Amino acid sequence: MEEATPANQPHTQIEIKPQSEEAPPPISPSLGNNHPESINQPEGRFPFFKSRYRQRSSDTWLISIFVILHLLAFITTMLFNYFSLGSALFQPLSENPLLGPSASTLEKVGALQRADLAQNHRTWRLFVCPWLHAGVIHFAINISCIIFVGIHLERDYGPLRIGIIYLLSAFFGSLVCSLFVRNSPVVTSSDALFGLLGAMLSGIIRNWKVYTNKCAALAVVFIVFAINFLLGLLPYIDNFANIGAFMSGFLLGFVFLFTPQIRQLSKNKAGLFEYSVKSSINLKQKLKLDRPILRSVSLLLFIILLVGCLEAVFRGIDINHYCGWCTFIDCIPSKRWNCNDRTNACEIMTSNSDLTLTCLRNGNFR
């Protein structure tokens, strides 16, 4: 019997061809057209105001904290006004056209006055004043604008950079205010908003080639600036603090606002301002394009202004002695309110059958 050799045995030959090893496509942070996460977004469009992002509540925790602090400070001011005067919660519009507390209440809770800084050296007011509001109208407009501007900036650049700009602009605005403040108490809670506006403007300029709809972006900055600047022409709101904070935010924006955070877009939604990028490579090149000279010059100018204002405040310099028309930038005189340096109005407090009149100029009462 002849043995079957391996060559004679039936066999099946299966040829397995190895797959060609191909490198996986690079995952770009800008989500190119081949990336699976780019399916839900329009090609090459990235909104500046993230109305069509998949947003998380944790993205805006810092601005939320600032808003809560402003709210607590305003409630405390109004309650102090009510219990100290024993009258209505709000003062008459002739005394406070912003529907808020009295001038003496603002002075007691931490508003800035010339005498408090020059004579009594109460420098703690520089840190408290940026959280105070002059009335309900001031609070509603200022907080609404802070939420609108601050949330979008925080989502674009993160809470750390926006927090630094917010706090430094608020402090710098208080320093500028102390150089122009007179004997009437003023608050500077709007200066942080103007710092954010200045930072937004410098962010648009810094990333000019990345954005589309630049006219719409600049229009929003101008409208918010104009509304709050006109509001600062009323008593108890200092416009010099707003101007100083805007300059501070503008310089700090060139220092901190680079490489905005790009995230996944939601489907079928449009943002107000958008990026227009031809490819992911172009986006990375544009966002990583650093300008160290611009950053260094902006930081140096901010430090010079900060040190100069600190030196002027410690020396007790009053710029009103050298600029007579500067008062009209801060308050426009009207028959409905008083812009005088020395307030001659009286507060009225009623208790049972007693009527108490308190002179706001010197605190005398009867």
Which sequence spans correspond to the domains of the chain? Answer: 61-258+275-330
Residue type, 255: V
- pLDDT one-digit tens code per residue, 114-152: 887 767 778 899 999 999 999 999 999 999 999 999 998
Sequence letter at residue 25: P
What is the pLDDT confidence band of residue 83, given thresholds at 50, 70 and 90?
confident
pTM, 2 dp: 0.76
Of 139, 144, 132, 143, the closest CA to residue 77 belongs to 132
Query: What is the H or E stretch that residue 157 is in?
Result: helix 136-157
- The CATH classification of domain 61-258+275-330, taken from the options 3.40.50.720, 1.20.1540.10, 3.90.1170.50, 1.10.510.10: 1.20.1540.10
Q: How far apart are CA 335 and CA 341, in angstroms?
A: 15
Residue 250 near residue 256, CB atoms below 8 Å: no
List b or e across 330-362, with b for residues whose CB sees 16 or more CB atoms inside 10 angstroms: bbeeeeebbbeeebebbbbbeeeeeeeebebee
Q: Look up residue 176 and give its amino acid.
A: V
From 115, 248, 120, select the one nearest 186 (Cα to Cα).
115
Top-confidence range, 247-261, 300-314, 316-330:
300-314
Residue 203 burial by Cβ neighbours in a 10 Å radius (0-12, 13-18, 19+): buried
Mean pLDDT on 210-221: 82
Confidence of residue 241 (pLDDT cuts 50, 70, 90): very high
Digit-coded pLDDT (tens) for 29-56: 434 444 444 434 444 444 555 444 444 5
